[in-house]
A and B are shown apart, each in its own frame.
Chain A
Amino acid sequence: MNSPDNPHGWLAERTLEPRWNPLVSGLVNLAVMLAATFACWWLLFSTSGVYQLYTPLLGFSLVIWLLLITVWQTEIFDFWPLSRNFLRQANPLAKGGALTAMMLGVYAVFILGLFFYLIGTYGITYFNWHSLTTHGKLGQDVLSARETTSWAYIALSVPFFWFSVVFALGVGRDVWPTLNQPRLGLANWLFVAVLALPAFFLLFHPHIGFMFYPAQIYAAVPPWWKGLAQTTSSEFSLGIIFDSVIMVFLTIHLWRGRPWNLVEKQPWRFLLLAIGSLALGLALFKTQLAIMDYMWDEAYIGGQNEANFGWRYSHTVTMGAFIVVPAMVLNQQFGALFKRLGTLAAGLLGTVLAVALGLGFAWLYYEFGPALLGVCEGVSHPSENAAAFLIMIMVLLNIQDNFMDGWPGYRLKR
């Protein structure tokens, strides 16, 4: 997020140039990314790896927050506390290492420290699976409790994600035009938190309150969206809101920030982001549901796997994420190839490519994922969630591009 001292923000200010031919640079970066993806998967997620986070929600809850933190670092805090001088001069590996360490540090303090240990131990039971197993009785063993807690963190990330994106792009420094970092970032971040927390309590807390027996009716009202969503699961809200974030990501990576950056005056820019992102997200959500209805007949209340409303709502996000990954690759690793094209032509071409590559990527994942990654076979498997894999890749892509200036294929133009 820009500020009076740094009016453009580091990502807008910097210019990257391919180290070699643009195609070669992109391919090298893609190869590095693939290697990093497989290494991280086996280290962190694989059931035969070190940390075995593919439960699948435990790992999902980790990477979704890491991705959000990269957005905070780059778009809200504009790389604070690193100085512009450091960002311009430092070796990409040192810079990437520092920013990745900061990303993990923020996760450790905000999620592990504040929510898991402090709030989860002394405030809200479901934020700490140890609290659930300690205070809970039948059904609260570690395997189930860990998934319940992981779901709570995923749910918490949803409103934080949407408000963060809307504030970063739709508000910027307009509420506090005279503030510099970190005051500006902190002010906006607090604004995001003040709005995201009530949204979490409205949209997700009732779901979590009903994840126990008996339902926690004195702490959480019964899911009020049941008639609207045809399910008591909050995957309804999750689907629409995450789809909105996905559409904003696609406009940033494929459409050079259009249409959001066409409007400068407030409150119109904010309203455009808020309403426009939800409208686009709803369109993505509804379009996919209509296709699913055609493919598999309509879902029905209480249906399982692909016949389940909640699964379908979540799966719109998964499939959207399959499109976002190639969109990010096209922009971050092969963006130089599209440079000469106008915004409209680049946007149209990029969209067609991203959709085609995303569908191909989905097919590859479901066809070869069981053999290559050790994930479960099938699309609607109850304990499979491709989003964990996809969001991990997004985090790695942001580390490579935003934190390391596209190393090794790209470098900072000095």
Chain B
Amino acid sequence: MKRREFLKGMAASSAGVAASTMIPFGGKALAGRKKKDIGMVKSVKVQCISETSWFDNATLGKDIKAAGGINTNQYDVVYNQENLGGYAALIEVEALDGKKTKYLLDTGWSNDWMDYVFNKDGIDKMLKSKEIDTLIVSHDHIDHYWGIESTLKHQPGIKIYMPGGSMEKSFQLLKGADFKKPQVKNSVPHTGELIVTKVNKIYQPQTGMAIVYFDAPATLQVRGENVVYFNVKGKGIVTVTGCCHPGVLTLINYARRNFAGGEKNYGCYGGLHISVFENWDPKFDDIIAGVKHYDMTKVACNHCTGWIWAEKAKAAGIPIVMGTDKNKSYKKVGTLAKAKTSNVYIGNGDSVMF
């Protein structure tokens, strides 16, 4: 539903008096949907290049608080540079004919950190050789997008799927820009194909794979997120996310309503954006109940999911895919590793097969 329609619909919710004049705006929500057959893939492997977007929650919290709080524009915050990491994942898709294709999901934050993890996993070489020729930007949040230079310096002409709701400054960054206050820069302008995703459209880089843009709200005035879906033969739908701002159940329900075979949700990977700063709210218990209802086979989560959510979800019987201690061998570790939490996250260097 478009935002304007959404807002007008919202206004209508306040009183029955006005309901009759607003009814047309809600029609689409109830309309029948034709399901799209996106085809199938044989398998999907997701490797966690980095899920530690920052290394200390409290430090980032202080930076954001000093700038005016969680609703401040992300380009108006002064970030402690020592604290920055980034989020990125390598997606390897095996088609039904056995052909393998690699996609980069997100490009992290700190160039120092991203250069380090790209080198560690050989991503830099894959970019240079064009073994990876597509970058899917989930959204333009600091930790998913601001490390764009680390990707472009290896392949300026990489094809990019960029969410349509991205900030104007984020598009400027892509073209080459240097923002002094938040200390983010890109000195390698993008020269390749740029696909700016829009709502109500399904993008298919290959058969069995779909990118869908959700107009969902996020913190620091960021809006909108690209989500990647796969239909894995014999298993079902696999959802791969950056932060999952639309909500994990929204994504599951989208697949159910819009994809042929979407009733079977096999698994998911990525940040689920629940207890981001390890804060908690009873509403998050509702999400556990909701996810459990869909009976997924593999829930591989990390990043903004919140360790607490993953831990509680596991205790509730959700099939959380366990990570390893690999992340502890990296040059820096995050808040959770320091707190010696259990491995309910797919951590840096871990991978999951769907």
> Chain A residues in contact with chain B, CB under 8 A?
46-49, 52, 54-56, 137-139, 141-144, 146-148, 207, 210-213, 223, 231-234, 287-288, 291-292, 294-297, 300-310, 315-316, 319-320, 322-323, 352, 355-356, 358-360, 362-363, 366-367, 374-384
Contacts and interface: CB of A to CB of B under 8 A. Distances in A.
A232 B283 contact: yes
Contacts of A356: 18
B97 to A, nearest CB: 37
15 contacts: A47-B71, A47-B73, A48-B72, A138-B339, A139-B279, A213-B275, A295-B25, A302-B247, A302-B289, A304-B216, A319-B15, A323-B14, A359-B11, A363-B8, A382-B219
Contacts of B61: 141-144
B15 to A, nearest CB: 5
B290 A302 contact: yes
A142 B14 contact: no
Contacts of A359: 11-12, 14-15, 18
Nearest to B17: A355
B279 A148 contact: yes
A303 B250 contact: yes
Interface of B: 1, 3, 6-19, 22-23, 25-26, 29-30, 57-58, 61-62, 64-65, 67-73, 76, 216-217, 219, 221, 223, 246-250, 253, 275, 277-283, 285-291, 293, 307-308, 311-312, 335-336, 339, 341
Contacts of B312: 213
Most buried by B among A291, A355, A358, A379: A291
Contacts of A304: 216, 246-250, 287
Contact of A213 (B1, B29, B308, B335): B308
B15 A55 contact: no
B291 to A, nearest CB: 7
Nearest to B58: A141
A210 B285 contact: yes
Contacts of A375: 71
Contact of B70 (A49, A139, A148, A383): A383
A363 B289 contact: no
B283 to A, nearest CB: 5
A147 B219 CA distance: 14
A301 B289 contact: yes
A56 to B, nearest CB: 7
A377 B221 contact: yes
A47 B68 contact: yes
B250 to A, nearest CB: 6
Contact of B217 (A139, A148, A309, A377): A377
Contacts of B17: 352, 355
Contact of A231 (B279, B280, B283): B283
Contacts of B23: 294
B287 A138 contact: no
Contact of A143 (B64, B76, B275, B335): B64
Contact of A300 (B14, B223, B290): B290
Contact of B223 (A207, A366, A378): A378
Contacts of B282: 207, 210-211, 223, 231-234
Contacts of B285: 210, 232
A295 B29 contact: yes
Nearest to B250: A304
Nearest to B61: A143
Given A291-B19, A297-B29, A359-B18, A56 B71 contact: yes
A307 B26 contact: no
Contacts of A376: 71, 217, 221
Contacts of A309: 286
